Every structure is written in C-alpha cells, then in structure tokens.
Amino acid sequence: MGRRERPLEDLVTLWPGRRVLVTGATGFIGCWLVERLLRLGAEVTALDVEAAPRPPLHESGLSDRLRVVRGSVEDPGALARTMTDHGAQTVFHLAAQAIVPTARANPVATFETNIRGTWTLLDTCRQRGDIVSEVVVASSDKAYGPSDRLPYTEEMPLAGRQPYEVSKACADLLAQSYHHAFGLRVAVARCGNVYGGGDLNWSRLIPGTIAALERGERPVVRSDGSHVRDYIYVEDVVGAYIRLAEALRDGSTGGEAFNFSTESQATVLDVVDKLRSLMGCEHLEPDVRATAEGEIPTQHLSAEKARSVLGWSPRYDLDSGLPPTIEWYRARLRRDSVRSA
C-alpha cells in the first residue's frame, strides 16, 4: 500500500526551521521551489552563479527571507563553505545546463556543469554527512535516451546518446552510486518537460509560443511538430521534489529514482494549438521549420512508482496548467513593454 501525499497543512509542521540548500535556486524551477519552501517555513540558502533571484521569487515578496550565496557547484570550496556556514540539512540539487541545443553547441561546458557539478555536490554532501540528512537530485526523462519501449519506467536502463541526455544519465548514476557506495541518503527525480510562469528561456516551446502569439506573430516550431512529450506544471514538480525529500527523511527511497508525470502526452503541435485557442489566436498558424537536431522523437513516463510508493499525483494537466502560465507571461510581457516605451 502506497503512502498518501501529505496535504499542505500537514507539510507546514515538517519544514519550519529546516535548513535547506538549493542549488540552481535562481533559475526557473528553483525559484518556485524556494518560494514553496519559504512559505512552509524553511530556512533556505541558495547557491547559484546568478547574483539575485529571478521571477517569480523576487515578485513574491519572499526574496528578502532568502540567503543567496554566489558560487558554482563545480567549486568544492564554495560548496563546503556554504554547507558549513548555513548548516544545510536538506539539499535540492537543481543546478544544471538544461537546454538541449546548447548542449549540442557546447558539450564540454554542459558536461562540466551537469556531471562535474553533480559529483562535486554529492562528494561534499558525503564529507558533510554530519550536517546533510538528505539530497534530492533533479534529473530528466532525457536520461533514458531513445527507446522503442514506452512509457519509461524506473527499472529501464539509462541510454542517453546526445550530449544533454548523457549528462543527465551520468548525474543520475552518480547519485545512485553515492548511495550504494557511501550510504548517502539521496534520491533522483526524473521529470518530463516542465512549464509554468517564470521560465525566461524564450527558445523553449511554451514561453516562445506565448510570446509570439502575444505579439501577434506566428509561433516558430523548430521540429516538425510531431515530437511527443510529457508536459508537467512547475507546481507539481515542486511538490514532487518536496515529497521525495520527506520520503528520504523517513528513511526510505535512498538510492532510488522516481518518474514524475501527468501520464498524458501531447505533440508539439498539440501544445501550440492549445495555446492558440486559449489566447484567441487561431488565425496565427505555426511556422514549422523542422530544423531541430538531437531531439528524441517520442518520450513519456510512467508515474506508477511515485503514486504507489510516495503517494504523489499531479494536480494539473495542460488544460489547467496553461491558463495561469499564459496569464503570468502576458503580465510580464506587458510590464516589459511599458518599461521599454
């Protein structure tokens, strides 16, 4: 029998005063995670190469409660000092180079951040086992690589081929190794394509499409539009990370990986069409360029293990997650327009 996911009111009793370190905390998902942790009462330290938090955190009124340490996960000294100075008990490792085309253009830098950065973080946690209680490593469905057998399940081998896929597979395996070899209480979260307000990488499908439609332009589709993906709303991902950390604190799930998914797939053109409809822009046909390279045609995940072991389930599907996402970007784009006028 799987454990039921604790409601928010119960979570409030688990996190107040908990000292938490989040790497990559000023990025898209990191900001949402930090905001949720602060609302739950945790004492959060952010380690990031960025100097200050980006949206939505700095717009939430909570950023003044966040301690930001500027530094790289590839720097063991910075990690050790941060963990010691701030007494990190729970670590969420989100820092990564997360863009597939960037990984193809600059694989070495991607490997440095995603692989070296992960082993440096894990080894620092191993050395500071007197402080660190549990570690959650953010991975991706890309770690599985191309497969004729879908949906991906956690017992399937990691067979990434392209640079980004390989970097995530290596980071994933490193996390498992540090558990089995050294007893580090660490678990891995594998998610599909994450969307929501605050993602300022306009080359990604959903932010780029919303921005184009808001400007009255045809949205550009880099692939042929037939690629199939899982799309998961950022708040569900944040809930998954927190639930996984709680399970580790309970003494279970160490060394394990978990898929998190809505288990409802969509093609790229499906998503574009939903956005066109929701934004009243059906007349703006997508500009399909079919120039994308290094993309896996079809990917989707089974979340059965997360349901049965963690009691986790998503609260949003595309129909409920896209409207608040559109609203966030519309507000952001309108503010930017006023500032530049």
Enumerate the active-site residues: 164
Angle at 96 between CA 258 and CA 312, to 5 degrees: 25
Token pair 């930001």: residue: 68
Report how far residue 154's alpha carbon sits from residue 122's, in angstroms, rounded to the nearest whole number. Answer: 21
Q: What is residue 302's three-state secondary structure?
A: coil
* Tokens matching residue 121: 């973080």
* Tokens matching residue 260: 């998190």
Q: At residue 94, what is the residue type?
A: L
Check: CB of residue 249 under 8 Å from CB of residue 134. Answer: yes
Report how far residue 316's alpha carbon sits from residue 233's, in angstroms, rounded to the nearest whole number. Answer: 6
Report how far residue 181's alpha carbon sits from residue 204's, in angstroms, rounded to the nearest whole number. Answer: 37
Q: E strand or H helix at 90, and its extent?
A: strand 90-93
Residues in the chain, overall count: 341
Token pair 């995670």: residue: 33
